[in-house]
Chains A and B, each alone.
Chain A
């Protein structure tokens, strides 16, 4: 199937006093229509910057963002405008992402007004349809954001993203600020909407359990790079990259694995202004050898659709099922290898 979105060797650097902060530094992936790609990593890894660059809220430093066959990376704002309705966003904070002085009806009507769609009366009907779609009643249209609970506000945020029938929604930590009992409601809503409307999601989150639940495929980011990408099933049954394994080890599980000592990752995330040489993870990696300190790892394909950027990926994967190794020998960051691998 042709991808809905194809990101190729994307870079986004922010100028800084002492140099460029390389928030996104050579990232490639694809999203098919109607699928969910999970994007996980810790704060500062660049996952939110990826989301915002795809939305073209940021202008990429280099690379291609191909949306339905068209590269939107170099487009000017005027050329971008007609494409904006295809990609929408749901934000983390349902408190600050809704205008406190607008009624919910007005907030949801705004996309139609901006696009000059329908007459006032039709728009009112569309607002009610949107509210019902996200499980809120028509009466919510007359409320102000402060009158709603956090979960209800996030439903409004989702309804607003749905208004223009987008093909892709970037969910940036969309359920992270919600209480546990409400989070399940919103996750179910997102999954249901995808099933009925066929929307694709880029689901950005630090919460591995949630990402596993909602995603078809998952990419793991570390310091501006994707270190591993695979189907959710494959990644959870056979994580290969040492960082992926460390993330899995660190996340608390229920029920707690009895007596299991967790392998705790030492140290902190290095600076993205002056990232470590070679493999960026080598400063914290138990398996790091000399080559890791000197040479950037190539992308190795563990299985169809399962790519790992690690010098020792093949050896590490041997502990588990032995995949058909096809070392393709292309440096990660040159775009063809990733595009074909993913």
Chain B
């Protein structure tokens, strides 16, 4: 059963250079209890997709969102603001990349966690306070009774990210959106946070949308993975399948460009490069956005935009020549 269904979601920004299609007809669903990873480089549209789901995009004339984001029977795209506030932080919450800037430096940690609880649940100050301490304990912050009254600057980056997670979990959401939750953290702290998220997801039976640029962290974390490029989903499959037999040339290129452990004594091989760079979103080519960097590209790739094709069961690739191949 799907917790959230995204259908034909598009986000356009009007800029000085022209109209930018940051997200272009993206469709996917997040199933109950699963972690779905969205992998992409900068400008792929992965974060804008998350912000569109949460309705956190700027609301002026220059931004246009179309399509549907179905949470159960309700479409979040057209929801009234007051209704959306009841969803945000309650049924869906979000953890951001920067634990340094996403906490209020002037508020005690406990107050920040309690804020969401008090907003969404009709509980007394004593109850919300007890809940804040519990949550800190749940995200494994030592000495939660003392920490609850401290200010963010007294905490390390990893601890702050734990506080962010505690805030996000306060109302036991059905879905947690984690946007690059470990990118700003060191590798040993990253391992701690990923493990914590996995444990909490299981105990709370929550779904997670994990947004990352780092293919190597999805292996341990996500059941399914979407790969985005220049605003579109180019491949969707079970994570193990994508890593072992990528079907889209871009995914293959990404995996090939990661350094692999070499055999002892062997000299280093050159890494496989993807030539060029991501095209500017306001001037995408007519056909496939990846055609210019693709070794397999044909005349058809430069003229016709590929549609999603089913490669095998439960696997999609948006490529004229998609085949699942072992790398």
Interface residues of A (CB under 8 A from B): 42-43, 149-152, 179-185, 187-188, 191, 206, 208-210, 212-214, 233, 236-237, 246-247, 249-256, 262, 264-266, 268-269
Contacts and interface: CB of A to CB of B under 8 A. Distances in A.
Interface of B: 41-42, 156, 158-159, 186-192, 195, 213-217, 219-220, 243-244, 253-262, 264-265, 268, 270-275, 277-278, 293
Nearest to A185: B273
B263 to A, nearest CB: 9
A263 to B, nearest CB: 9
Counting chain B CB atoms within 10 Å of each CB, the highest count among A149, A254, A268 belongs to A254
Contacts of B159: 268
A19 B195 CA distance: 36
A309 B265 CA distance: 25
Contacts of B273: 181, 184-185, 188
Contacts of B214: 180, 252
Contacts of A183: 257
A265 B220 contact: no
A251 B187 contact: yes
A247 B191 CA distance: 10
A264 B195 contact: yes
A314 B35 CA distance: 42
Given A151-B277, A184-B273, A188-B270, A265 B188 contact: yes
24 contacts: A42-B188, A149-B278, A181-B253, A181-B254, A181-B277, A185-B274, A185-B275, A191-B268, A191-B270, A206-B186, A212-B262, A213-B271, A233-B265, A236-B264, A247-B188, A249-B191, A252-B216, A254-B258, A254-B260, A255-B219, A264-B192, A265-B191, A268-B158, A268-B189
B278 to A, nearest CB: 7
Contacts of B271: 184, 187-188, 213
B191 A262 contact: yes
Contact of B259 (A181, A213, A250, A269): A213
Nearest to B189: A268
A181 B41 contact: yes
Counting chain B CB atoms within 10 Å of each CB, the highest count among A42, A183, A252 belongs to A252
A251 to B, nearest CB: 5
Nearest to A249: B191
Contacts of A250: 187-188, 190-191
Contacts of B264: 233, 236-237
A253 B261 CA distance: 9
B270 A256 contact: no
Nearest to B255: A254
B243 A254 contact: yes
B259 to A, nearest CB: 4
B270 A265 contact: no
B192 A265 contact: yes
B253 A209 contact: no
Counting chain B CB atoms within 10 Å of each CB, the highest count among A149, A151, A180, A214 belongs to A180
A231 to B, nearest CB: 9
Contact of A184 (B187, B192, B243, B272): B272
B259 A254 contact: no
Contact of B186 (A42, A149, A252): A42
Contacts of B189: 42, 268
Given A188-B273, A210-B259, A256-B220, A179 B278 contact: yes
Given A152-B277, A188-B273, A250-B190, 16 more contacts: A181-B274, A209-B260, A213-B271, A233-B265, A247-B188, A254-B216, A254-B258, A256-B219, A256-B220, A262-B195, A264-B191, A264-B195, A265-B192, A268-B159, A268-B189, A269-B156
Contacts of B293: 181
Nearest to B274: A181
Contact of A179 (B42, B219, B243, B261): B42
B86 to A, nearest CB: 36
B41 A213 contact: no
Contacts of A208: 187
Counting chain B CB atoms within 10 Å of each CB, the highest count among A42, A150, A181, A262 belongs to A181
A169 to B, nearest CB: 18
Contact of A187 (B42, B187, B195, B259): B259
Contacts of B255: 254
A214 B271 CA distance: 11
Nearest to A251: B187
A184 B156 contact: no
B262 A179 contact: no
A249 B192 CA distance: 11
A179 B188 contact: no
Contacts of B188: 42, 246-247, 250, 264-265
B243 A255 contact: yes
Contacts of A210: 259
A236 to B, nearest CB: 7
A246 B189 CA distance: 11
Contacts of B278: 149, 179, 181
A180 B195 contact: no
A43 B185 CA distance: 9
B15 to A, nearest CB: 15
Given A212-B262, A213-B268, A265-B188, A180 B254 contact: yes
**Closest CB pairs A-B (n = 9):** A184-B257, A256-B219, A213-B259, A42-B186, A250-B191, A179-B41, A184-B271, A181-B274, A149-B277
A180 B259 CA distance: 10
Nearest to B265: A233
Contacts of B41: 179-181
Contacts of A149: 277-278
Contacts of A253: 216, 219
A151 B262 CA distance: 25
Contact of B257 (A181, A233, A256): A181
B13 to A, nearest CB: 19
A250 B195 CA distance: 11
A191 B219 CA distance: 28
Contacts of B277: 149-152, 181-182
Contacts of A181: 41, 253-254, 257, 273-274, 277-278, 293
